[in-house]
Amino acid sequence: MASDTRQAPQNVTPESPVSTRSDSYLFAIYYTYFHPAHPILPPREHFQEAHLPSYLRQAVKFVASHFTSSVSSETYGHAIVETVLRAGPSANKVQALLLLSVALHSRTEHVESKKCLNAAVDLAFELGLDRATYAETESPNDPTRAECLRRTWWEIFVIEGLLISFGVQHTCRTAVKPLEVPLPCEESTFREGLTSSNPQTIAQFDTHVFADEEPEFSSHTYRIDAVRILNWALKIRDMSGSNENLIEAIDARIASWFLNLPSSKAELLRQDGSVNEIMFQACMIVNIASIHLNFSRSGLMSSSAVSADVICSQQVSPRDSAFSHNCHAAKALRAANELSSLAAISSPVEKHTPLLTCGLALSCIVQLAVIKAGKMSDANRDRIGLNIGVLRSMGRTWAISKLTMQKIKAAARDVFALGSQPPVDLFDFTTLLDLNEQFLVDGSTS
C-alpha cells in the first residue's frame, strides 16, 4: 500500500506542540476528504468542543493518515482496533468501529473490517440506537449530538447494505429491524449547527409522492431509501421460483426513484462546483441495485467471458424473468453506464467514499460482458477506461482501489484480445475484492 512508504513525525509525544499541530492537521484532512462521504461526527466547527473520547480521535487520525504522505497509517496500526474494541459500550464506540470498518475494508483487510462492523451492529442493538427515541433521550439538550446519533444508526444501515451487495457481509441485521429512527437533516443545516426539533420519518417519506405539495427530504433520506431498494434487489436475487411480480415491482421502484427526484437532488453538482456526496452515493447505490436485479437475468452470464460465478450473477431460469433477456441486459448496461457517468463528475475522487471502488468494479464487469457478447462499442471501451482512471486515482489512497484496477485491467486486456478467453477468476467478484486469503497473497506478489 502507498501508506507503507510514509514516514511518521519523529520525536512526537502526546503533549508536544508538534503532536498538537499534527492532530489538527489530520483532523482537517479527515473533514476535507472523508467526512463529506460519511458524516456521522459533529461538524468540523463543533469537533473540538464535542469532547470525543481519545480512541475515537485516534480512529479519525487513522482514517485521515491515508490521505497524506506526511503521516504513516502504520503509526496507528492495528493497535487502534484493539483499543476501540476494549473501550466501554457507548455510541462513540459504535462510531469508531464504523469508521474503522470502512477504512479496513478499503485497505483490503476484510477480516478485521467485518469484525469491526459486526461489533458496531451488536453494540448499536445493545444500546438501542435503532429505537426512535434513543437520540433525543441520550442527548436531550444537545441537538447536534442527537443528530450524530441518528446519523450513526443510518450509516450502519447503509454500510451493512453495501457490504452485503459486495459479498463482504452475508446477513443484513439492520434491515430486518423496524426503521423507526428519525431521518437525518440536510448537510447544510447540520454544518450550521441547526437541526429540526421534529425530524422526519421513513413513514412520511413513503407517502410523499402522493401529497399535493411534496415535502422536502434530506439527501440522507434518499440514500437510505436507495439502500432499501438494494436490499430488496438482493433478496430477489437469492430467491428461487417464479418471482415475476416482485421483479416488476422492484424494477418500477428503481425507475420511480429516479423519476421522483426533486430537481434539488437530481443535480449532484452544487453552484460552487462541489459534489453532493450523499446524493452521489444514493445514485450509485440504486444503479448497483439495478445491476443485481438485471445482470443475472440478462443472458450475458452465459457468455464465455462471464461463465464464472459472479457475486451478482446467480443463474435464474427463464420463467423467473419478468422481462426478456435483452431487456434485462439493457437495464444492467444502463446502470453500469450510469456508474461510469457518476465517476466522470468533476470532483477530487479522494472525496468519494472508498466503497465507490466496488461499484466501479461491477460497472466494468457488466460492460466487459457486453463487449465479450459481441456488442462492443467505443463508448463501452471509453467508460471502462474512465473507471480504470478513477480507480487509479483512488488507488493512491486505498489499497482496494489499486488492486481492483489491476484486476480490471487484466480482464480488459483478455476480453479485447480477439479469440482469447478471460481467466474465470477475474470475473469472480468475491475474488476481485480479495475476500479469499490465498488470493490476497497471490495477488500481492503478482
Asked if the structure places residue 385 within a domain, the reply is: no
> Which tens digit of pLDDT belongs to each residue from 184-197?
999 988 888 777 77
pLDDT at residue 18, rounded to an integer: 40
65: containing domain = 21-182
Pick from 18-27, 109-118, 220-229: least confident: 18-27
The verdict on residue 51 lying in a domain is yes
Residue 354 covered by a domain: no
**Percent of the chain's residues with pLDDT above 90:** 54
Residues 6 or more apart whose CB falls under 8 angstroms from that of 341 comprise none
Dist. CA 384–CA 380, nearest whole Å:
6
Is residue 91 situated within a structural domain? yes
Examine residue 318 and state whether it is found in any structural domain, yes or no. Answer: no
pLDDT given at position 417: 73
Q: How far apart are CA 60 and CA 41, in angstroms?
A: 10
pLDDT at 437: 34
Return the pLDDT at 19.
54
429 or 210: which carries more pLDDT confidence? 210
Give the best-scoring range by mean pLDDT among 305-314, 335-344, 433-442.
Answer: 335-344
Q: Does residue 216 lie within any of the structural domains?
A: no
- 13-22, 317-326, 370-379: least confidently modelled range: 13-22
Mapped onto helix, strand or coil, the DSSP state of residue 335 is helix
Q: Quick check: 177 pLDDT over 90?
A: no
Asked, for residue 269, whether it belongs to a domain, the answer is no
pLDDT computed for residue 15 by the predictor: 40
- Is 2's pLDDT higher than 50? no
Residue 98's closest CA among 132, 73, 62?
62
**pLDDT in the model for residue 346:** 73
- How many structural domains comprise the chain? 1
pTM metric for this prediction: 0.86
Q: What is the pLDDT of the chain when averaged over all its residues?
A: 82
Please say if the pLDDT value at position 396 is more than 70: yes
Domain membership flag for residue 280 = no
